Amino acid sequence: MDKIRIALAGNPNVGKSTLFNRWTGMRQHVGNWPGKTVEKKEGTFKYKGQEIEVVDLPGNYSLTAYSVEEVVSRDYIVDEKPDVIVNVIDAANIERNLYLTVQMMELGANLVLALNMNKFAREKGLKINKKQLSQLLGVPVIEIEAVDDTGSEELLKNIVKSSQAPNIVLDRLEYGNEVSEHIQEIQEILDEDVPGLDAPSSWIALKLLEDDPEITKKIEESGNGQRVLKNVKKMQRHFNDVFGDDADAAITDARYGFIAGLVSESVKKPKIDKVTRSDMIDRIVTHKYLGIPIFLLIMWLTFQITFTLGDPLGGYIEEAFGWLGSTVAANMGEGFLTSFIVDGIIGGVGGVLVFVPLIFILFLVLSVLEDSGYLARAAFVMDRFMHKLVGLHGKSFIPMILGFGCAVPGIMATRTLENERDRLLTMLIVPFMSCSARLPVYALIVAAFFSAYQGWVIFSLYLLGIVVAIVVAAIFKKTIFKGMSAPFVMELPPYRIPTVKGALIHMWERGVLFLKKAGTVILALSVVIWALSSLPVGVEYASQDSITGQIGTTLAPVFAPLGFGEWQATVAIIYGFMAKEVVVSTFGIIYGIGEDSGGEATAEEAAPDEQVSSETSEGSSIEAAPAEEEAAPEEDPGFIAVMQELFTPLSAYAYMVFVLLYIPCLATLATIRRETNSWKWPGFAAVYTFGVAYVVSLVVYQGGLLLGFA
C-alpha cells in the first residue's frame, strides 16, 4: 500500500503538536498553507515498514468560517481527503472537545479518537468508558499520553486498520426530529439540483442553514442552486418561528444535545468537582497580588539563565571565527579579496553568529515555559492589569510574549484577536518587545559598561519595552482606537512537565530562523556595508572618509542630544533598520571583530603594532589592548576599548534604549503590511516608533545628566 496520509485535529493545547513531534522528530517541514498566513506543519514516519505522512492541523474549537484557521482545517478535510483523521481530545474537558468531533463527523471524516491527558481527567474524578464511547460514535477510541509511549502502539494499529476499512459515521449523528427532518429536505433538493458536490450533501445542507458565507457562495456559483437557496431561506424562517431563534443557534443546541447524551452514557462525573493540582498551583501563580511579581521573577530568571549558560559557549564560537579569520588572512595575504572575506563576511556574519548560544538558550527557556502551560497564565495575569488600565484585551499579551523571540510570529499571532481595532493596536506595540535580534547589541554593550550587572540591565530593557508598549497602547486606545475590548476568555491548559524532545524541537524551529537570516539577509547586508566602508577607492577601510563614514557623519548630529552623536554609532543604527542584528555586525566590520581575537588581519591594517586603532568623530585615536586568543566578542578587550571610547555608561544605556524602541526591522514591517493589506500601518509604525525611541532615549540621557550620571 502507498503511504498513509493522516491529519491531527483537535482543540488548542490538547497535545497535538507533542504527538506530532514525537512521531516525526526532525523529519518535519514547517511552512504556510497555500495562500494563507497560517503555519502548516507536515512530516513523515514509519510504522512496521508502512510510511505515514502526517499533517498537524491548526487548533480549532469548531469548523465554522469565522477564522482563517477553521477554514484551513475544513478545506483540508474536504479537498485533500486524508485517509484518517486522528482527533486528539483533552479527556479532562471531553464534553467541550467533542463539539469539534461532531463537526468532523458531519463532514464524513474517517476518525480515530485519541484520548489524551487521562491522568488530569482522573484527577478531576472523571471515569470515561471508552468502549461505550467508541460504540456510540462508531469510531475507535484510544487512551494515550502524548508525552510518552502510552497507547501509541494501539493508536498506530488502529490508524492503519482504519485506513484500510474506513469508519462510516454519518448515520450516528442525532439532531432531534425537527432539525433532522429539515436537513433531510434540503439534502434531497441538493442531490437533485446540485449533484457531484465535494462534501456530503447533509453537511452542505447544515452549512447552508447556518448561513455559512463560503458554502452559500459555492452553491450560488454552481448555477443550479436557486431552488436550494430559496428553500434554505424558507427553513431559516421556520426555525425562527419554531425555536424563537435562528437556525444557527438551533443547530448548535442540537449538537450539544447529542454530546450531552454521549457524555451521560459514557462518562461518570463526580458529584462535587475535585480540586486538581493545576487548580492549587493557579491559586498562587494567578493570585491577584502575587501573579505579576511571580511573572517578573520568572522573566528575570530567564535572562539570568540565558547569560550564565550562553556567555561561555559564545566564546568558543568567537574563537573559531578568530581562527578562521587569521587563517584566511595568513594564507591569502593582504589585498582586496582578503579584506572582503575577512572584514566583510567573517567580521560581519561572525560577529552575529557568536550570539547563537544566547538566542537558542532564550528560546529553550521560553519553550519550556510555554509547554508547561505557564505562558497562558502570564497572559491571564496581565489581562487584569491591561484591561483595566489600558482597555486592551488580555489576549494581546500572548503576541507580546511571542515578540520576545521575534516580532514576526508575534504579529501573526494577533489573528487570535477577534476585535479588529485590538488586532491593529497589538500589531503596533509588539515591536516594542525586545526580540532576540536585539540581544547581541545588549550583550556587547553591557559587557563594556555593566559587566557586574548584565542580567539586571538587560532585564530592565525588557521591562522598559513592556512599559512603553502599555503606555503607547493606553494613548492609542484613547485616541485612534477608541472603545473597550471584549471580556477576556482564554483557556488555561493544565500544568504539565514539558518533554525534552518537544522543548528542543520548539527551540530549533525558532532558532533556525535566526541562522537562516544570518546566512542570507545578514550576509548580504554585511557585503553591502563592507563595500560602502571600502569606497571610494583608496580610503582607509571603514574610516570616516569612506561612504559609510560620510553617511554617519552627516546624520550623527541628529543623535547628539541622545548622547551618541558619533558617526560609527549612527551608521550602526541606520543599517540596523534592515535587521537589528546588523547593528552588531556593523560594529564588527568597522572595528574588525572576528579577526582581532585571532590575531593579525585587521590589526595589521589598522595599526602596525598589532593594536586596534580607529577614529572617533572628534578625530582622536583609540588604542585598544591586544586581543586575547580565546576572548568572546563581548570579552574582547579591543572591542570593549572602542565601545568605552564611543560611549559613556549613560549614553550606552540610552543607545540600548534607542535600539530597543526604534523602527521595526524590514521583515516586521513587511509582516504588518501583509496582515493589514496596506502600507499605511507599516508606514505609521516606522514613523511613530522612531519618535517614541527618540523621546525616551532623550529623557534617559538628559535626565541622567541632570541627576549627575555620566
The CA distance from 492 to 297, in Å, is 21
Residue 630 has what pLDDT?
Answer: 42
Weakest-pLDDT range from 17-26, 93-102, 410-419, 476-485: 410-419
Give the CA angle between residues 243, 247, 249 to the nearest 5°. Answer: 80
Weakest-pLDDT range from 2-6, 506-510, 513-517: 513-517
Q: Does the annotation place 11 within a ligand binding site?
A: yes
Residue type for 335, please?
Answer: G
pTM, rounded to two decimals = 0.60
Q: Is the predicted pLDDT of residue 60 greater than 60, yes or no? A: yes
268 or 386, greater pLDDT: 268
Q: Does the annotation place 420 within a ligand binding site?
A: no
CB count within 10 Å of CB 37 equals 13
Those residues with Cβ within 8 angstroms of residue 630's Cβ, 6 or more apart along the chain or in another chain: 315, 318, 319, 597
177-248 shares the fold of 4-172: no
Residue 34 has what pLDDT?
Answer: 58
* pLDDT band with cut points at 50, 70 and 90 for residue 647: very high
Q: Does the annotation place 38 within a ligand binding site?
A: yes
Weakest-pLDDT range from 118-122, 181-185, 453-457, 669-673: 669-673
* pLDDT band with cut points at 50, 70 and 90 for residue 483: low
Q: Please, are residues 40 and 69 in contact by the beta-carbon 8 Å criterion?
A: no
Q: Please, are residues 643 and 448 in contact by the beta-carbon 8 Å criterion?
A: yes
The mean per-residue pLDDT over the stretch 691-703 comes to: 96
Q: Does the annotation place 56 within a ligand binding site?
A: yes
Q: Does the annotation place 32 within a ligand binding site?
A: no
Report the percent of the chain where pLDDT is more than 90.
25
Q: Is the predicted pLDDT of residue 378 greater than 60, yes or no? A: yes
Q: Does the annotation place 13 within a ligand binding site?
A: yes
The CA distance from 425 to 661, in Å, is 16
CA distances from 225 to 163, 221, 228, 236, 247 (A): 34, 8, 5, 16, 19
Q: Is the predicted pLDDT of residue 121 greater than 80, yes or no? A: yes
677 or 66, greater pLDDT: 677
Q: Does the annotation place 17 within a ligand binding site?
A: yes
Element (H, E) at 448: helix 439-449
The CA distance from 544 to 152, in Å, is 65
Cis geometry, peptide bond prior to residue 536 (ω within 30 degrees of 0): yes
Q: Does the annotation place 16 within a ligand binding site?
A: yes
CB count within 10 Å of CB 303 equals 22
Q: Does the annotation place 15 within a ligand binding site?
A: yes
The residue assigned the cell 568567537 is: 318
Q: What is the pLDDT of residues 238-272, one digit of tens each?
A: 888 877 778 888 898 889 889 988 898 899 988 77
Using a 10 angstrom Cβ sphere, with 0-12 exposed, 13-18 middle and 19 or more buried, the burial of residue 126 is buried
Three-state secondary structure call for residue 264: helix
Task: Provide the sign of the torsion angle of the four alpha carbons 475, 482, 421, 245, taken in this order.
Answer: positive
The mean per-residue pLDDT over the stretch 292-307 comes to: 82
Q: Does the annotation place 598 within a ligand binding site?
A: no
Q: What is the pLDDT of residues 425-457, one digit of tens each?
A: 899 999 999 887 788 889 888 888 988 787 889
Residue type for 629, please?
Answer: E
Q: Does the annotation place 59 within a ligand binding site?
A: yes
* pLDDT band with cut points at 50, 70 and 90 for residue 33: low
Domain ranges, ordered by start, for the chain: 4-172, 177-248, 275-594+635-709
The mean per-residue pLDDT over the stretch 391-407 comes to: 74
The CA distance from 60 to 70, in Å, is 6
Q: Please, are residues 1 and 50 in contact by the beta-carbon 8 Å criterion?
A: yes
267-268/4-9 β-pairing: unpaired
Those residues with Cβ within 8 angstroms of residue 2's Cβ, 6 or more apart along the chain or in another chain: none
Task: Provide the sign of the torsion angle of the four alpha carbons 134, 135, 138, 140, taken in this order.
Answer: positive
Q: Is the predicted pLDDT of residue 348 greater than 90, yes or no? A: no
Q: Does the annotation place 58 within a ligand binding site?
A: yes
How far the first Cα of the chain sits from its last, in Å, is 74
Which range in 32-41, 91-100, 355-364, 594-603 is most confidently predicted, on average pLDDT?
Answer: 91-100
636 or 535, greater pLDDT: 535
Cell numbers representing residue 166 in the block = 474506513
Total count of residues recorded for the chain: 710
The CA distance from 463 to 432, in Å, is 10
List own/partner pairs for 156-160 with CB under 8 A and 24 or more apart: 156/47, 158/112, 159/4, 159/6, 159/47, 159/52, 159/84, 159/86, 159/112, 160/4, 160/47, 160/48, 160/50
Report the percent of the chain where pLDDT is more than 70.
85
Q: Is the predicted pLDDT of residue 498 greater than 60, yes or no? A: yes
* pLDDT band with cut points at 50, 70 and 90 for residue 605: very low
Does the domain formed by 177-248 have CATH 1.10.287? yes
Residue 633 has what pLDDT?
Answer: 52
The residue assigned the cell 521583515 is: 667
Return the CA Rg of the chain. 30
Residue 141 has what pLDDT?
Answer: 96
Q: Is the predicted pLDDT of residue 511 greater than 90, yes or no? A: no
Q: Which CATH number fits domain 4-172: 3.90.1150.10, 3.40.50.300, 2.40.420.20, 3.30.1490.20?
A: 3.40.50.300
The CA distance from 591 to 612, in Å, is 8
Q: Does the annotation place 314 within a ligand binding site?
A: no
Which range in 185-199, 482-496, 498-512 is most confidently predicted, on average pLDDT?
Answer: 185-199
User: Number of C-alpha atoms within 13 angstroms, CB side, residue 185?
Assistant: 16
Rounded to the nearest integer, the mean pLDDT of the chain is: 81
CB count within 10 Å of CB 117 equals 25
Q: Please, are residues 285 and 291 in contact by the beta-carbon 8 Å criterion?
A: yes
Helix segments in 479-580, DSSP class H: 500-519, 521-534, 547-559, 567-576
Q: Is the predicted pLDDT of residue 398 greater than 50, yes or no? A: yes
* pLDDT band with cut points at 50, 70 and 90 for residue 596: very low
Which range in 249-258, 401-410, 485-494, 615-624 is most confidently predicted, on average pLDDT?
Answer: 249-258
The CA distance from 347 to 352, in Å, is 9
Residue 623 has what pLDDT?
Answer: 38
Q: Is the predicted pLDDT of residue 632 greater than 80, yes or no? A: no
Weakest-pLDDT range from 358-367, 504-513, 646-655: 504-513
Residue 401 has what pLDDT?
Answer: 77
The mean per-residue pLDDT over the stretch 675-695 comes to: 90
